[in-house]
Amino acid sequence: MRQIADIERQIHRHVEERWAEDVAAEVTGEKTWWPRQYALGRPDAATVADGYDDLIDLVDRWRTWASTHGAAVVESNIRIEGVTYPILSHVLVPSLDVAARVAGARWAPRLRHAREYCSLIDTRFPYRRNVISKIVRAVVDWAPVDVDLLVRAASWFEESPISGLSPRQVPLEGFHTKWLESRRAVVARLAGLDDLGLLPPHPARIHFTYLDPQHIEAGGRKHDSATVGDAFTPAYPPHLVVICENKDTAIYFPEMPDAIAVEGAGSGAAAFAAFSWLRDAPLVVYWGDMDADGLRILAQFRTAGISAESLFMDVPTYERWEAFGTNTDKRGDAISADGRPAPAHLEHHERALYELLNDSTSARCRRVEQERIPLADAHAAIRQMQAAAATP
């Protein structure tokens, strides 16, 4: 005879798999998957003979369990060697709510939201019942204001399927690019569209600072930007490009001949690799925070085709500045190791630092921020890198 925990796991799995379809069926008046019987199994003669008291105890526990959760037990008798024994054959779970009660406390409020959202969506889109369960499954953990916006947005796009607008231009209160980024597929499905017909995202842009003293003394501009896909040539072809994770570090980097400091935040590595003057510079240096994320970004630049050398991203440098490290991010949340292996394209000394910083058993600081290190030290280190590169 099956144990209570075995049946509970099965019910939990069925709730996870079926809840959205059942909520949709309730709202649309269709037949739900419940009630559902779960077979408890038939004990054999040896079990009855050797452990009848334990079997009766399990039957009693099943009765108590069913009464507590709102389920029912199905009575049965078995005959073994001419003797009749009272037993249970099944547990009957009458509804999704009872099954959810078994599955855990989080399910009651979740189902409440699901029913509210499903009713709202079905009222406005009764002709989308073929996808309503998928929509509800996608939005069940959304805030009510976002579900309301979903309904209004799907209605708008249904009437304007080829708008030619950017997300920011869609005339809906609360609708914006960031909201849409993670919800585009749900909006399109509810609107009955394959695509929302919006303008593509604007091309990526990089920002940088000219460091060459002669250029600056001659009155040339100090700060500049370039857009991917746009015709652009910098004021001079750089022999050195320093990509700085921190914006202020790039802006205030000390002057260096034929050099450009690029702000590393805000664009993916592919955006930087799109500019041949940056990608093919004789020396490209990446300087980021000493943390797992900074080393992953470094690896992404190399994957994109930028042969960047790292600055201050090794264990000795970490140990030199570790006293100024932190275990919290800018929001005050703890920085924790996530167990991901070191990415490809890291050199041996960089990989050693990554493994140290991403070791879940380590009590050491997870991050030493770039701005903790004086710019003068970075300037001197890069001068050494240039000298080493120039040595035959």
**Is the preceding omega at residue 316 within 30 degrees of 0, hence cis?**
no
**Residues sharing a CB contact under 8 Å with residue 203, sequence separation 6 or more, in sequence order:** 227, 228, 229, 230
With tokens 């959304």, the residue in question is: 142
**Residues sharing a CB contact under 8 Å with residue 92, sequence separation 6 or more, in sequence order:** 35, 36, 37, 38, 71, 72, 73, 74
Do residues 174 and 306 share a domain?
no
Sign of CA dihedral 236, 283, 374, 371: positive
**Residues sharing a CB contact under 8 Å with residue 159, sequence separation 6 or more, in sequence order:** none
Q: 42-63 burial by CB neighbour count: b if 16+ within 10 A, else e?
A: ebeeeebeeeeeebeebbeebe
Q: Which two tokens stand for residue 12?
A: 């939990």
| Residue range 51-61, pLDDT digits in tens | 667 778 888 88
Q: Which two tokens stand for residue 204?
A: 């990526």
The region, left, alpha or beta by phi > 0 then psi within -120 to 50, assigned to residue 81 is: left
The region, left, alpha or beta by phi > 0 then psi within -120 to 50, assigned to residue 268 is: beta
Q: Which residue range forms the structural domain that includes residue 82?
A: 4-103
Checking if the pLDDT of 82 tops 70, the result is: no
Sign of CA dihedral 159, 161, 164, 166: positive
Distance CA 330, CA 297 (A): 18
Distance CA 235, CA 259 (A): 11
Percent of the chain with pLDDT over 90: 69
Lowest mean pLDDT among 8-22, 161-175, 206-220: 161-175
What is the residue-averaged pLDDT of the chain?
Answer: 90
| Mean pLDDT score, 142-167 | 88
**200 within a domain of the structure (yes/no):** no
pLDDT at 294: 93
Put simply, whether the predicted model's pTM sits higher than 0.85 gets the answer no
**359 within a domain of the structure (yes/no):** yes
| Mean pLDDT score, 109-118 | 95
With tokens 């250029």, the residue in question is: 215
| Mean pLDDT score, 340-351 | 94
Domain endpoint, select from 134, 159, 191: 191
pLDDT at 2: 82
Domain endpoint, select from 103, 130, 147: 103
| Mean pLDDT score, 271-292 | 96
Do residues 138 and 250 share a domain?
no
Do residues 26 and 95 share a domain?
yes
Ranges of H-type helices in 77-131: 96-103, 107-124
Do residues 98 and 122 share a domain?
no
Distance CA 287, CA 21 (A): 51
Checking if the pLDDT of 266 tops 60, the result is: no
- Residue with more model confidence, 373 or 175: 373
Do residues 176 and 90 share a domain?
no
Phi/psi at 368 (5° precision): -115, 115
Domain endpoint, select from 47, 75, 103: 103
Number of domains in the chain: 3
Checking if the pLDDT of 276 tops 60, the result is: yes
CATH number, domain of 235, equals: 3.40.1360
Do residues 283 and 375 share a domain?
yes
| Residue range 317-335, pLDDT digits in tens | 999 999 999 999 888 889 9
| Mean pLDDT score, 1-17 | 91
- Burial label for 338, CB within 10 Å (0-12, 13-18, 19+), is exposed
| Residue range 221-254, pLDDT digits in tens | 999 999 999 999 999 999 999 999 999 999 999 9
**198 within a domain of the structure (yes/no):** no
Measuring CA to CA, which residue among 226, 170, 370 is closest to residue 290? 370
Check if the beta carbon of residue 337 is closer than 8 Å to that of residue 362: yes
- Residue with more model confidence, 201 or 169: 169
List the helix and strand counts (H, then E) for the chain: 16, 9
Check if the beta carbon of residue 362 is closer than 8 Å to that of residue 356: yes
Do residues 80 and 116 share a domain?
no
